[in-house]
Structures are given as structure tokens and as C-alpha cells.
Structure 1
Amino acid sequence: MAYRLKEYSYNDKLTKDQNLLLDKLYKLRMSGMAEELENQLLNPNTGLESFETRFSDIVNFEWSQRENKKFNRLLKQATLKYPSADLDQSLYEPERQLNTRVIELLADCNWIDEPNNLLMTGGAGAGKTYLACALCITALHQMRTVKYIRANYLLQEAEHARLESAYYEYSNKMAAYDLLVIDDFGLMDLDMSKCRDLFEIIESRDCRKSTVIISQIPVANWYMLFGENTYADACLSRMTSKAYRLDFPGRDRRVNNSN
């Protein structure tokens, strides 16, 4: 995507040389530095600060602006179901029966570097997807690439890519994300073709990238989803052999919240 050059508007409260300097910063694509420098030039108390402090503020403002832009770009790419999810205090509610120690460790995102998978299971409405999105946002703040997708839609996309002779490109794209979240695993039909597509996507990430699998079905029963035992063994081995697990034994929170 082409970089859109931000226009600089002449400020008649500044000198000609100061305006020229700001204009150059904009043309160098350092709009954050230009904005902070302009604020300093217009602030009568700026001279009270040392040059090092002022320059540090200018650089930090530019850095922060670029990090925010990158985060927002990654967040949009992630297509999270809950883009505002966070690890709030509701995790510690006794009735949810969550292993909060494990969640706190997962929030460090070291498991993504290992890389290990994460299997999240529990009943509908227990908060699995919300927590997964919160962990994704933590990873995004570390400038990792993330993708959230429902299992059925993932397989539909893979099938469409095959029909368009673009499966190789699609598979490479799904393999490249630092963290791939597959939601509603089990709520999809798995014929032979889809078993093959699922296997190839899981295989492309095995021991290279981390994958989160979210399901209402206990892990022990996942093999029943496959109509072909060979693919069942191959997929499940890759998904579960290096995987942390997080169970959600609590009740449906959507029902509770509607009362």
C-alpha cells in the first residue's frame, strides 16, 4: 500500500525557517516528530526543558505514533470477534472456575515463541472466544501477526482457494500468522476434501507457529469429528502434542447477563 504523504499547513505563528523545517519533516514522513516539534515551538515554557528532554519527547512521539498505526493495522487484519476484549477482573469470579494462574502465564505470550498451541474447551457462552480475543490483543501489542477465523469459514475459504487455483497462496498466508485462532472447531462438516484442507493448514504451522483451537467439544472426543481415521490421527497429533489446555467449566454467561 502506498504511503499517503501528510500535508503540512503553514503556521503564521512560526518563523519562515521553522515552517520550512516542519515541512521537511512531513516530507520525510516524520509527521509525529513534526507535530511534537510544532507544539514545542508554540509552547512559551519549552525553554525550561533541556535539549535532550525536548528531543527525547519528539522522538518518542514519532515512535508512539508509528506503533499505534502498526497496531491498528494488525488489529484490522486480525478480524477479531471482540476487538475490544481485555483480561478484566471477571476472570477471577469464583463461579467461572477458571485457572487464572495459567491465563496470567499465557498473557506473557512466551508460548507463542516456543511455539505451542492452546486448546480452549467448554460450554457455549462460557467466555472462550472473548478470552482468546483478549490474548490476541496482548499479542498484537507485541506487534505479532494474528488471525481469528471460525472453523467452518476457514474450510470454505480453503475450498474456494482450490477452485480459484490459489490454494498455495492461501495456505502460505495462513501458515505465516504468528497466531492463528480457529473458533467453533467441531461445528463444521468434515468430508474427505475438508479433512485434507484442515490437515494441510495445521501441518504448515506445526512446530513453526502457534494455533488456538476453540471448541465446545472435549478434546478426547475430537477424533469423532473426522470421517477418515488417517486424517484424524494426523491432525489431532499435530494439534495436541505440543499444546496447553484451558477449560471453561462455568455456565453460559450470556444467559446470566440477560437476567
Structure 2
Amino acid sequence: MAPDALIDLCRTLRISGVASCFEELPLTQETEEIRSFLLHALKTEIELRAGRRRLKSVRTAGFPTLKRFDDLDATLLPDDGRRYLPILSSLSFLEEHRNILMIGNSGTGKTHLAIATGICACEQDFRVLFKSTAGLVHEMIEAKQERRLTGLQRMLKRVDLLILDEMGYVTFDPQGAELLFQMLASRHEASSTIVTSNLMFSDWIKVFHDPILTAALLDRITHRALVMNMNGTSFRQR
């Protein structure tokens, strides 16, 4: 067994003192057995740490409930829901920094798909944050009033996948609309955002009121985005 493998694992676990011991250990049959055991132990520790890290990522992402792809009856989804399911579950859009826009009436699986995608991303070590759109806008307004907006904006920009749920359920005042625009503009082509909404794009002006800002926001958020038509029969009516 190459001693470098053990040393690399020690450095991954940040136990450099142990790594230095391996560098001094002679290569004999007896020490080879010790190395084999330690290699297994260190790999197990790395896997356990990774599992704990992913569980923490899911807990801190802010999902209102835990819904996975396995919990979903795909046959009940609208056509686009079924068509784009492989893209969502593979997370290929994240590597390409593309947005996902799920547009349709209530109860057709938009939030379930968004949460399931987010959990899948957490389990692949992506940084994920789930927010209701209205809740995030309120949080940004409050942060601005308390002079901590810059820190919040910096954190939002670093998130690999931001999920904004229920865009359009609440209208925004000019300050809230501007803050949301600035945040989404800062993420443009640098990371991915999933937006769920019950409003067609032509109706978003009812949320933002300003036609120029609405047009600019749509221009950025739809650029290279995957737009899913999620209109269909509500699950709750089946």
C-alpha cells in the first residue's frame, strides 16, 4: 500500500501530526497490516463526517418539510414536470449555472419538486437555501434597516442553489422589489435559482408594479433558464 494514501487521508481529516508519523514509519510486513487497518478506519471517518455534513446541510437549508423524489408519484405531474424530472434529479443545471422556473397553478407539485431537488443538491455537497419569496424580501428589508444587508447579500450570492417559493403570492413595495432584483442580478450566471410561481410572466408586473424593473428582472432570471409549465389538475383535487 502506498504510504501517500494514508498521508493524504490524514491531511483531509486535518490530523497532520498523525500524517507525520506515517512519513517516519518504515515499510515492513508488520507495519503494512497496521497501515491497512488505519486506511480503513480513516476512510470510515471521512464517510461519517461527510454524512453528518450532508445531514446538517439539509437541516440548515430551511426546507419547510422534507420531500424527496422517491415520495413523488411522477404520473400525477404535468407534462413538463415529468419531462424535466431527469434534469432536476441529475442536478446538471447546477453545473451550468442555469435557473429553473416552475410556473403553474397551485397544487401541481412545484414546491415538492423544488424541495426534492434542493435535498438532492445538499446530499451532493452543494450549498442550498430555501426561502419563501415574500419572507426573503422581508428579511432583506429588515437587514437594510439594521445595516447588515451587505452581509446577507454576500451570503445569498455564495449559495449554489437558492429556492424561491411562491413568487407572486404577495406583492412588493418599490424597496422590496429593488432588493429582490439586485439579489437575483448578483447571482446571474454565477449560480442557480429555482423559482416557483402561480403567475404567468405577463402578470409579474402585478407583483413588482414597475414595468421597467419587471422587464429587467425577467430578462436576467429567464436567460438560459429552463421554464417548466406546471399548470394542471391540483393533487388535492384528485
TM-score strictly above 0.5: yes
The DSSP-based 3-state class of the residue aligned with 2:90 is coil
Report the Cα distance in structure 2 between the residues aligned to 1:249 and 1:221, rounded to whole angstroms. 15
Would you say 1:219 and 2:201 are equivalent positions? yes
Compared with structure 1, are the counterparts of its residues 53 and 91 closer, same or farther at alpha carbon in structure 2 (3 Å cutoff)?
Answer: farther
**Contact 1:106-1:135 within 8 A present in 2 as well:** yes
> Comparing both chains, which one has the higher relative contact order based on Cα–Cα distances under 8 Å and sequence gaps of 6 or more?
2
Would you identify which runs of 4 or more consecutive aligned residues in structure 1 move more than 4 Å? 50-56
Would you say 1:70 and 2:48 are equivalent positions? no
Determine what percentage of the aligned residue pairs are the same residue.
24
117, 135, 139: which one aligns with 1:135:
117
Number of residue equivalences? 210
Flag structure 2 segments of 5+ consecutive residues without an equivalent.
1-9, 16-32
List per-residue Cα deviations over 1:39-61 (Å, max 9, x = no partner).
xxxxxxxxxxx777644532332
**Contact 2:76-2:235 within 8 A present in 1 as well:** no
TM-score (norm 1): 0.74
Compared with structure 1, are the counterparts of its residues 201 and 59 closer, same or farther at alpha carbon in structure 2 (3 Å cutoff)?
Answer: same
Q: What residue in structure 2 maps to residue 172 of structure 1?
A: 154
Compared with structure 1, are the counterparts of its residues 96 and 189 closer, same or farther at alpha carbon in structure 2 (3 Å cutoff)?
Answer: closer
Would you say 1:125 and 2:128 are equivalent positions? no
Report the Cα distance in structure 1 between the residues aligned to 2:71 and 2:153, rounded to whole angstroms. 38
Would you say 1:239 and 2:221 are equivalent positions? yes
Report the Cα distance in structure 2 between the residues aligned to 1:215 and 1:203, rounded to whole angstroms. 19
Compared with structure 1, are the counterparts of its residues 105 and 181 closer, same or farther at alpha carbon in structure 2 (3 Å cutoff)?
Answer: same
The CA deviation at 1:115 is 0.5
**Contact 1:223-1:236 within 8 A present in 2 as well:** no
Q: Which runs of structure 2 are paired with 1:178-189 in the superposition (5 Å)?
A: 178-189=160-171
The DSSP-based 3-state class of the residue aligned with 1:233 is helix
The DSSP-based 3-state class of the residue aligned with 1:116 is coil
The structure with the largest alpha-carbon Rg is 1
**Contact 1:97-1:249 within 8 A present in 2 as well:** no
Compared with structure 1, are the counterparts of its residues 69 and 163 closer, same or farther at alpha carbon in structure 2 (3 Å cutoff)?
Answer: same
Would you say 1:199 and 2:181 are equivalent positions? yes
Report the Cα distance in structure 2 between the residues aligned to 1:29 and 1:204, rounded to whole angstroms. 34
Compared with structure 1, are the counterparts of its residues 65 and 144 closer, same or farther at alpha carbon in structure 2 (3 Å cutoff)?
Answer: same
List per-residue Cα deviations over 1:120-145 (Å, max 9, x = no partner).
11211111111111001111111000
Compared with structure 1, are the counterparts of its residues 101 and 185 closer, same or farther at alpha carbon in structure 2 (3 Å cutoff)?
Answer: same
Compared with structure 1, are the counterparts of its residues 234 and 123 closer, same or farther at alpha carbon in structure 2 (3 Å cutoff)?
Answer: same
Flag structure 1 segments of 5+ consecutive residues without an equivalent.
1-24, 31-49
The CA deviation at 1:82 is 2.3
List per-residue Cα deviations over 1:154-204 (Å, max 9, x = no partner).
110011001101111111111110000000100122221111111111111
The CA deviation at 1:96 is 4.4
Q: Which amino acid aligns with 2:168?
A: G
Q: Which amino acid aligns with 1:241?
A: H
Would you say 1:190 and 2:172 are equivalent positions? yes
**Contact 1:179-1:210 within 8 A present in 2 as well:** yes
TM-score (norm 2): 0.80
